[in-house]
Amino acid sequence: MGERVKYSKEFKLEAIRLASEPDQSVPKVTRDLGISDSSLYGWIRQEKEAGERAFPGKGKQNLTSEQAEIKRLRRELEVACQERDVLKKAVAFFAKEN
């Protein structure tokens, strides 16, 4: 099996644009571009769901400021929960010794 081909954001957006032209169809565009129908349908779905944040590339997320804040707060909460759990165990350990 060959290496998976990675397409740029620009390529994906252009393929979506072409497929939306009145004289085009997804099967015709995919044949012309040499990609699978399922790839283009997936890109169309991603673009509809994420809009400008679709296809961030290289695993980077284009987060809104609210999403970035939520992500940061979730990380802080996870650390606080881990610290709490360690303290609970320490209290239980020292309570047994007395």
Do 68 and 23 sit in the same domain of this protein? no
Do 49 and 76 sit in the same domain of this protein? no
Beta-strand runs (E) in 1-98: none
pTM of the model: 0.56
Do 2 and 49 sit in the same domain of this protein? yes
Do 6 and 51 sit in the same domain of this protein? yes
Do 18 and 49 sit in the same domain of this protein? yes
Rounded CA-CA distance 47/69 in Å is: 23
Report the domain count for the chain: 2
Q: Could you read off the pLDDT of 23-66 as tens digits, one per residue?
A: 999 999 999 999 999 999 999 999 888 887 788 776 666 677 88
Do 69 and 21 sit in the same domain of this protein? no
Domain of 88 in residue numbering reads as 63-98
